[in-house]
Amino acid sequence: MSRLPDSSETTTPAPDDAPTPGGDTAARQSDTDGADGAPEGGRDRSNRGAALIATAVALPATVLAGVLAFNQFAPDQPGSEPSASATTPAPLSTAAVEMAAPALAERPATVCRALLSQLPPTIRDLPQRPVTAGPEQNAAYGDPALTVACGGAAPTFADTDKLWLVNRVCWYGNEEEGSTVLSTVDREMTVTVRVPDDYDQPLQWVSPVSETIAATVLSVDDAPTGCRPE
């Protein structure tokens, strides 16, 4: 807190030549003072100097007393700990995602290992998470977990069912409770991606996976008709 006054108006000492009441008496007193060897002006300046010193000493003491009184009666302020907010998102889980890891033959194991080694560290804004089994054939991203499994069973579907071509990879989609399951149908090895319902537009989530599949998993010659570009 500043010790200077808030107002620009200040009290100043009276000028030395200000008139004093009782002119003759004051004059005689001046003569008397002069005879004693102590000029009136000197005593006035001494008195004003003493008053200014007293004021200068008293002012810091008054300010200090005010600060102490304020601290004593001011309400306690809360600490700097952040308060809980309803809009603060809960921390995302980084725990291992439970996934099955069926045994794979030599060729499927080699293909899946190549695929998993090339998957991106994130899918859109979802960071990759560890899995409980088969990291050479399984991957998981985000919370809730979007999962990628290589080497599983091929999906069954009718000739009239809709297929989607995403980044040169053909997918069949199936709605299950809580997620959309997308499986490749034009590759030598089936790759299955489960997209939780929390994420809109499932095909957009398989787009980066499609790029890796196209680069690491060979396509088959007898792909379904629905996988051919129109």
Domain extents for the chain? 23-71, 106-227
pLDDT score recorded for residue 44:
54
pLDDT score recorded for residue 91:
83
pLDDT score recorded for residue 135:
97
Residues 6 or more apart whose Cβ sits within 8 Å of residue 159: 224, 225, 226
Between CA 87 and CA 64 the distance in angstroms is 43
Between CA 144 and CA 149 the distance in angstroms is 16
**Which amino acid is located at 92 in the chain?**
L
Residues 6 or more apart whose Cβ sits within 8 Å of residue 132: 96, 97, 98, 99
CA 27 from chain centre, in angstroms, equals 81
In terms of Cα–Cα distance, which of 147, 154, 131, 133 is closest to 196? Answer: 147
Report the range of poorest mean pLDDT among 143-147, 209-213, 224-228: 224-228
Average pLDDT, the chain: 76
CA 98 from chain centre, in angstroms, equals 29
